[in-house]
Amino acid sequence: MMMSCGKDIDQFIPNEKQDVAGDISRLTSRLKEDISAGISYSVSVPCTGNIAITVDKDVVLVIPPDFVDLAQYPCTTGFFDVNVLVCDTKGEILAAGIPTISENKFLESRIEMKLEIKNGSTSCRLAHGKQIRILVNDPDPRDRMELFYGQESDWLQADGDSAKWDNVANRDWWVQMDSTQQGISGFGYECFSDSIDWVNIDVFFEIPVEQRTPVCVSLPEEFTNTNTAVFMVLDDYKSIVYLTGDAAQHLFCEHYGSTPIGFNVTFVVISERGEGNYYFAEQKATITPNLTETIVPLKTPYEEIKHYISAL
């Protein structure tokens, strides 16, 4: 009875606000690892080379004779491991590849690959003067395709000449796979790479300057360039652009003014605000001059984010 006379009030003393900044690199690394698992290939190649290997569904790599300098990299096991990561969908490029931009201009990609030659745990380079022949099946090859080499988050033209585009050929091809005379034929792209790292077969979008525009995405202020990544995916082309975060303006932008006006795009936002605490949004738009799109990401399970990106 005495207790029933007290005030029926619960006192609530809040804790200090916890600002969970998050780390987007944890989420992007997890996506890259999970999605790369299905597009990574490793083939044992004889020390002397001179063999063709098939990777993914469309790619044949022709390894030349004596492709590694054995004086520099002694081949003690009889084989080198050739590891290949193949990105040929928008989702694979978004998660595991390099955005399709070069010299601040948009690219349309046919295929991105990361090549690696391993001698045990040692990474090897191609011997001087040697090139890997790259063959990509494609029933409808594009003109003016070029070979690009990856440079961090950008692509550089392999020939270093912006006025030329003759290092990727469109043709029928046949190649002998090994000494048994077994062969394989195809039709599509052919090029030669002297680089062991990221390589790419792309074409520049031929868009007049007056038909391009900068584009930005506006997010709530808790989504920062340390916990969030924003991508612009061109709906009708295999082209992915990373939007750079501007912390002061709370915007993520394509600052170069290279986005083609009138193109249909999908903005993809992924965020990690504390380990295992994920946010996601996708929003379609048609590009208009100086577009700023406002998006509010929602808390989303990791598996849903991974499934969406894998299906792009």
8 assigned to some structural domain: no
How many angstroms separate the CA atoms of 257 and 81, rounded? 42
Interhelix angle 24-36/302-310, rounded to 10 degrees, is: 50
User: Which of residues 306 and 176 earns the better pLDDT score?
Assistant: 306
109 assigned to some structural domain: yes
What are the backbone angles phi and psi of residue 36, rounded to the nearest 5°?
-65, -25
Q: Exposed (0-12), middle (13-18) or buried (19+): which is 28, by Cβ within 10 Å?
A: middle
Statement to judge: residues 174 and 122 lie in one domain: yes
Statement to judge: residues 196 and 221 lie in one domain: no
Question: What is the reported pTM?
Answer: 0.88
DSSP 8-64: ------PPPPP-----HHHHHHHHHHHHHTTSEEEEEEETTEEEEEEETTTEEEEEE
261 assigned to some structural domain: yes
Statement to judge: residues 82 and 180 lie in one domain: yes
Decide which of 186, 204, 222 is a domain's last residue: 204
> Above pLDDT 90, what percent of the chain?
77
Statement to judge: residues 64 and 100 lie in one domain: yes
For residue 15, the Cα-to-chain-centroid distance in whole angstroms is 42
CATH number of the domain residue 186 falls in: 2.60.220
**pLDDT at residue 55 greater than cutoff 80:** yes
CB 32 within 8 A of CB 39: no
Statement to judge: residues 148 and 258 lie in one domain: no
**pLDDT at residue 285 greater than cutoff 90:** yes
Statement to judge: residues 200 and 218 lie in one domain: no
12 assigned to some structural domain: no
Region 291-295 average pLDDT: 97
161 assigned to some structural domain: yes
Structural domain that includes position 222: 209-310
Q: What is the pLDDT of residue 161?
A: 84
Statement to judge: residues 171 and 215 lie in one domain: no
User: Is residue 179 classed as helix, strand or coil in its secondary structure?
Assistant: coil
Q: What is the pLDDT of residue 71?
A: 94
Statement to judge: residues 189 and 225 lie in one domain: no
As for how many domains the chain has, the answer is: 2
Statement to judge: residues 241 and 258 lie in one domain: yes
Q: What is the pLDDT of residue 177?
A: 72
Decide which of 181, 204, 227 is a domain's last residue: 204
Q: What is the pLDDT of residues 148-201, one digit of tens each?
A: 999 778 899 999 887 788 899 999 998 877 666 678 889 999 999 998 899 999
Rounded to the nearest integer, the mean pLDDT of the chain is: 90
Statement to judge: residues 199 and 286 lie in one domain: no
Decide which of 155, 170, 204 is a domain's last residue: 204
Statement to judge: residues 57 and 140 lie in one domain: yes
Confidence of residue 256 (pLDDT cuts 50, 70, 90): confident
81 assigned to some structural domain: yes
Find which of 21-25, 47-51, 279-283 is predicted with most confidence, using mean pLDDT.
279-283
Statement to judge: residues 196 and 290 lie in one domain: no
4 assigned to some structural domain: no
127 assigned to some structural domain: yes
Would you give the end-to-end CA distance of the chain in angstroms?
Answer: 67
CATH number of the domain residue 235 falls in: 2.60.40.1120
**pLDDT at residue 91 greater than cutoff 60:** yes
**pLDDT at residue 35 greater than cutoff 90:** yes
